[in-house]
């Protein structure tokens, strides 16, 4: 690539944060969104007042509603929720050249098929280079300029390194991995475990309880990752442990905050109505359980969260049952 141009599809909080990070790294960045009002605010006021009010985006970001123009950039980033990836990828297929790097930042399993984002992209887009960006990243902190690091997974490690160097800055660092599967599983299951931690907090349990849920949740994630072809060592890095430490401990995490609402007595639907943005863990819980059943894997925390979300289990008793499972070798 002779130029450093990046197109980003998705003008929500994370799409804007990535646009900001890549722009200050010296890249030409174009951001696509559906809302003409949001696009206008980004271009004229350098702000996304809906999701990131009061935070200034880099002046050089160009926002547009022209999807074709964004897809013509050297690097394409999909900053849309997992459940939108299939429709978006089908729409943009006509605009993509062969060997285009397409990077997804979604963290989830597709509700209808139970597939990971890389599997969706492989089905819907031909002759592209699939990349996955995942890790402990709050959008507001990225825009503020606080040091942030994430995993960038791609099969071709030489190419991944070149891209990571283009996209990284002193405050936003990308570390490469060839484990596309493990990187995705870590981010997706983390959201479910974050809901469990939020539920425990809402129920009034303490730090010990949360530590137990996080630790055992990471073990569940490793079991699933190994079963679907990922490397369990990946989960000790940014897209695994790093993301768990962030999302399972902070109210800035949508999944954690959603779980807290459940823990205080809200139903799933009522809790969702109080949330700004997509709660990925809500949509991923059932597909994860279905995969676990198919693969004969024990994921008790994920199963409990899925049952609670479906309204099939009592919140308080579910958490206590988890913490009273039979004693066995860790």
So which residues are the catalytic ones? Answer: 190
Give the bridge partners for 313, in sequence order. Answer: none
* Dist. CA 328–CA 315, nearest whole Å: 24
Q: Where are the beta strands (DSSP E) in 39-159?
A: 62-64, 75-78, 100-104, 128-134, 148-154
Contact between residue 93 and residue 125 where contact means Cβ atoms under 8 Å apart: yes
Contact between residue 117 and residue 29 where contact means Cβ atoms under 8 Å apart: no
* Dist. CA 100–CA 159, nearest whole Å: 12
Give the bridge partners for 148, in sequence order. Answer: 172
* Dist. CA 41–CA 50, nearest whole Å: 10
Please name the residue ranges forming H helices in 95-253: 117-124, 139-144, 157-167, 180-202, 207-227, 243-247
* Dist. CA 247–CA 148, nearest whole Å: 14
* Dist. CA 90–CA 81, nearest whole Å: 15
* Dist. CA 38–CA 318, nearest whole Å: 41
Element (H, E) at 174: strand 172-177
């Amino acid at each position: 690539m002779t130029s450093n141009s990046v197109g980003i599809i998705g003008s929500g909080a994370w799409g804007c944060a990535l646009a900001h990070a890549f722009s200050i790294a010296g890249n030409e960045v174009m951001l696509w969104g559906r809302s003409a009002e949001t696009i206008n605010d980004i271009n004229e006021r350098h702000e996304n007042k809906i999701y990131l009010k009061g935070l200034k985006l880099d002046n050089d970001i160009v926002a547009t509603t022209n999807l074709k123009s964004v897809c013509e950039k050297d690097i394409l980033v999909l900053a849309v929720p997992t459940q939108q990836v299939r429709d978006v990828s089908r729409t943009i297929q006509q605009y993509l050249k062969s060997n285009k790097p397409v990077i997804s930042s979604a963290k989830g399993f597709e509700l209808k098929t139970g597939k990971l984002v890389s599997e969706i992209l492989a089905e819907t887009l031909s002759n592209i280079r699939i990349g996955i960006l995942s890790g402990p990243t709050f959008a507001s902190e990225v825009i503020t300029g606080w040091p942030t690091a994430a995993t960038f997974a791609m099969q071709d490690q030489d190419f991944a390194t070149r891209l990571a160097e283009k996209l990284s800055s002193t405050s936003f660092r990308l570390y490469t991995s060839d484990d596309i599967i493990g990187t995705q599983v870590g981010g997706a299951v983390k959201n479910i475990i974050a809901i469990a931690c939020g539920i425990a907090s809402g129920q009034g349990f303490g730090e010990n309880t949360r530590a137990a849920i996080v630790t055992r949740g990471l073990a569940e994630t490793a079991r699933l990752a190994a079963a679907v072809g990922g490397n369990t060592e990946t989960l000790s890095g940014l897209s695994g442990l790093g993301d768990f430490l962030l999302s399972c401990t902070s109210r800035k995490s949508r999944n954690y905050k959603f779980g807290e609402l459940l823990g205080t007595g809200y139903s799933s639907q009522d809790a969702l109505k109080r949330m700004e943005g997509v709660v990925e863990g809500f949509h991923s819980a059932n597909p994860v359980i279905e995969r676990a059943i198919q693969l004969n894997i024990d994921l008790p925390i994920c199963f409990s969260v899925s049952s609670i979300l479906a309204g099939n289990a009592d919140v308080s008793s579910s958490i206590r049952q988890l913490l009273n499972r039979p004693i066995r070798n860790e």
